[in-house]
Structure 1
Amino acid sequence: MNNNVVNSAKNISTMNLVAILAVPLIWFFEAAALGPALAVILEAFPGTSKLISQLVMTAPFLTTTLFSLVAGRLAKTYNKRNIIIFGLLIYGVTGMAPAFATSINTILILRVLTGIGAGLCLPLPSAIISEHFTGEKREKLTGMTTSVANIANLSISAIVGFLLAFGWQWSFYSFAVIFVVLIIAIFFLPSSPPIKETEQVAKENVEVSPKSKSVPPVVYALGLFMLFGWVFTGFTTLNIAFRFVELKYSTGMIGIGLVFPGLGAMFAGFVFSQLSRSLKSFYVPVAIFITAAGYFGMSTIESFIPLLGAILLVGFGTGSIVSFILNMTALKTSLEQRDASYGIVNSCMHLGLLVMPFIQLAVGMVFNNNSLIFLYHVSSIFLVIAGVIFIIARKKVSSESIELGLDSQG
């Protein structure tokens, strides 16, 4: 392990870590805070078209995707701490502003701007972690970022659901939480200036160290993997309510069901380091097979408790994959490449949610079957095939080049 990395880790205080992990709390706030409130908001603006109502929910995903890429590029020139603080300021102001809007179009415009702030914050905590830590410590913190994000999702949705009793505006007032994160970041987020000439550090700190400062092709592959991971996440989180309505479950049961994907992903983040080191190159196939098992259960089970178990499996499997991809991005890039690389990979989280409805629609059109049961059947079959392909690839590629998410010096 490089001495610079060791010294950097020693200089990180407990409050610095708290600040780093506080940012993922609001990674998906723009969706979690609005999801429970969308129907109530639309009631306040009668006559809103279906297209506009969908855009109010999804518009931030587009700008978040774009500005995650921008954040990665900006980090080559500016201190990541300052970028995050600026992003949080935009996020908080534009997130709360719709509470004072008098038209749905104004809300839509502000939601687009909210995505800019979210995008500037999304990729940089992972990049900061990878700069200061390596090996098992980095794996644990990477897993914790996904766990923290999912814990926040669960809490935010529940709290907003309660606040809606006081009016739809409270879904936007809840964005005040972002100002709390902003204050923590101002006082405790560690400085993270642009990486300069660090070729020697890169050689000692990552598995591969290309001389070029450009993003290596493997990052685009990881980004594509992340995109599909979030497509399958969306198949669950954005369709659970509809599936439960089909089964004639109560509103309360639907609310419980919405918690379980995030609960599974939260558990996956907590055990990522231990599980990845135990399973090694089998980690990804196992995560894929777990997700496939969950989807098979969702397509065949109608009893409430077993169905929750299937949803939990999907959340655990997809959450495991997200943690793996974030850690793998650090392993396969030099420090000079890492900011832009995380910008690409993290942007694919929201891009996956953005394209998910279109992929779901395409599956229905190709097979002339739009039922959720069929979608989950197709998903489980696709994932089993993908898992088998990973196992075959493992046998054909040397164990050194396919070492999955592990740092030999950890």
Structure 2
Amino acid sequence: MDRKKAAILALSLLTIISTDTVAPLVKQISASYPQVSSTMVKLTITLPSLLMIFFGLIAGQLVKVISKKAILAIGLVLYSIGGIAAGWSESFPGHLILRGLVGAGTGLISPIITSLIADYYQGKERADMVGYTFAISHFAAVITPPLAAYLGAEDWRKAFIIFSIVPLVFLFTMIFLPGTARRVQSDAAEKRKAPIPTKAIQFALIALVMMIIFFIVITDLPYLIETKTGISPIVSAFGLSTCTLGATIAGLTFSQIYVRLKKWAIPTSLLACGLGFLLITFSGTSVLILGGLLCIGMGIGILISLIMLVTANSAGEADSTAAVALVNGGFSIGIFISPFFYANLPRIELGLPAVEFNFLLAGVLFAAAGVIALLVAISTNKQLNLPHR
């Protein structure tokens, strides 16, 4: 493996763990701050996503004046400070400020990762790298939530030592990532004027809605498990990791799945998410719940990889950082809005606890979107071909 590929994959370790690592600790953090509502405590997961939006857009502008390697250095320093120190803040506002630094750092590095892939790789190799970076980021998120739950079993603050990996990635990246991208545009002035593609704007909106619906599985899975009886403790400990494992598998096999399914990739992924949500809502057995979480992870993994690949290619010969940052912003806004969306939903009396109703709604929405996408795929002969640029 060449050094720049290793550096890009190392950076990918950090993108998802900024939020997922903290998810198993929400109830313990809430107990440490009894004066703070549970919805506000969830900001420790969602606030970084909000900051990712603004700093992702900033990254899209900074590439015009400083190198991508310099932007990565700034982002990784912010991530290192906020990630480790957030566990030792005595006040909740101080904790949130430091978690905000994590979001700022992640926002700077995330679009750079995908734009570096667009700079260095083309065609199937580009699709492979998009899938690999997605898989690596989610593989890390398979490991860190149960590790955080273990380290933070007695004191949730100890779990934040996991973020000590960030300074190590910083050193590795600074040593092995080249200072200048391979693809240097001769018409740099025209490149700066290139507008964000319409397709990127469309996918940013899709990403926003998709994350609003999906992210309840990250924030509220422990509360759903509490409503069920006879469920193995393994589900509580490894449920989120099972979902993330599904996303990892989807990332590793993305280009092969995409080539085989073509126009059926979108409806298949949406229906997999819908099936998964319905399984975990109504099932009373541990195996089926874990199976549902695996389905959700695989479905969302294919959808996110597809969105990122098409976004990177939509920029054409222009730098893709701004387009990727916009789509990442869509994902992040959706993540931030999700808890408030579900908390303020009008209730339909179905005899279900509120959390079960919310998971049921997510399953119905994904399934409905899958059916619509399936009908569109059936009615058209156009194939969603793998870009070769």
Partner of 1:124: 112
What is the CA–CA distance in structure 2 between the aligned matches of 1:100 and 1:154, rounded to whole Å? 24
- SS in structure 1 of the partner of residue 169 of structure 2: helix
1:165/1:312 CA distance change after superposition, 3 Å: closer
Q: What RMSD in Å do the two structures reach over aligned CA positions?
A: 2.8
1:53–1:21 distance in 2 versus 1, CA, 3 Å: same
By how many angstroms is 1:30 displaced?
2.5
Aligned residues: 386
Report the counterpart of residue 371 of structure 1 in structure 2.
354
Question: What is the identity, as a one-letter code, of the residue corresponding to 1:357?
Answer: P
1:59 to partner: Cα distance: 1.9
Q: How does 1:156-167 map to 2 (within 5 A)?
A: 156-165=144-153, 167=155
Q: Distance in 2 between matches of 1:91 and 1:147?
A: 21
Q: What are the superposed Cα offsets for residues 134-172 of structure 1, whole Å, 9 maximum, x if unpaired?
A: 111111110111111111111111222222256333222
SS at match of 1:407: coil
Alpha-carbon distance in 2 for matches of 1:86, 1:291: 36
Q: Matched residue of 2:318: which SS?
A: helix
What is the CA–CA distance in structure 2 between the aligned matches of 1:108 and 1:71, rounded to whole Å?
22
Report if the CA contact (8 A) 1:195-1:336 is conserved: no
Q: Is the contact between residue 61 and residue 354 of structure 1 (CA under 8 Å) also seen in structure 2?
A: yes
Query: 2:214 maps to what in 1?
Result: 233
Q: Which residue of 1 aligns with 2:52?
A: 64
Unmatched segments (≥5 aa) in structure 2 = none
TM-score of the superposition, structure 1-length normalised?
Answer: 0.85
**Conservation of the 8 A alpha-carbon contact between 1:76 and 1:339:** no
Q: Does structure 2 retain, via aligned residues, the 8 Å contact 1:24–1:146?
A: yes
Letter in 1 for 2:338: M
* Alignment partner, residue 387 of structure 2: 407
1:262 shift after superposition: 0.3
The 10-residue stretch of structure 1 (292-301 or 34-43) with the greater mean CA deviation from structure 2: 34-43
- Post-superposition offset of 1:289: 1.6
Equivalent in the alignment of 1:215:
196
AA aligned opposite 1:336: A
Q: Is the 8 A contact 1:198 1:335 kept in 2?
A: no
Match among 130, 135, 144 for residue 147 of structure 1: 135
Match of 2:70 in 1: 82
Q: Which amino acid aligns with 2:61?
A: R
Q: How do 1:2-401 residues align onto structure 2 when only pairs under 5 Å count?
A: 14-45=2-33, 47-50=35-38, 52-165=40-153, 167-192=155-180, 197=185, 213-248=194-229, 249-365=231-347, 371-394=354-377, 399=382
- Out of 361-370 and 271-280, give the one that drifted further: 361-370
For residues 272-299 of structure 1, give each alpha carbon's deviation from its aligned partner in whole angstroms, at most 9, with x where no partner exists: 1001101111111111122122223223
> Which structure 1 residue ranges, 5 or more long, are not aligned?
1-12, 203-209
What is the letter of the counterpart of residue 384 of structure 2? L
- Matched to 1:245, the amino acid is E
Do the aligned residues in 2 keep the contact of 1:96 with 1:173 (CA within 8 Å)?
A: yes
CA 1:45–1:117: 2 relative to 1, 3 Å: same
The answer (yes or no) to whether the contact 1:99–1:169 under 8 Å persists in 2 is yes
Is contact 2:134-2:305 (8 Å) kept? yes
TM-score by length of 2: 0.89
- Aligned partner of residue 406 in structure 1, secondary structure: coil
Percent of aligned positions with the same letter in both sequences? 24
Check conservation: 2:81, 2:101, Cα contact below 8 A. Answer: no
